Amino acid sequence: MKAREVRDLSADEQAQKLAEAEKELFNLRIQKAGGQLEKPDRIRAVKREIARIKTVMNQAKAAR
């Protein structure tokens, strides 16, 4: 998800996407610990998605 797409979402939708991404990251970490992770690069992508969402949320908060 690109930053532009995140900016187009409402604050509630952004929070929902953030929660989903954090849950996915948690599940990926559990899979990694159990040796069942098929796509290790997905962890990095989800971390970046979380950072992107948080950045957009903080920018919106600072703009107020």
Q: Give the chain's domain count.
A: 1
Q: What is the pLDDT of residues 9-32, one digit of tens each?
A: 999 999 999 999 999 999 999 999
Taking the model in full, what pTM does it have? 0.91
The CATH number of whichever domain residue 45 belongs to comes to 1.10.287.310
Q: What is the pLDDT of residues 32-64, one digit of tens each?
A: 999 999 999 999 999 999 999 999 999 999 998
Task: Write down the pLDDT at residue 64.
Answer: 83
User: Three-class SS of residue 37?
Assistant: coil
Task: Write down the pLDDT at residue 41.
Answer: 96
Average pLDDT, the chain: 95
Give the integer Cα–Cα distance in Å for 51 and 47: 6
Residues of the domain holding 46: 3-63
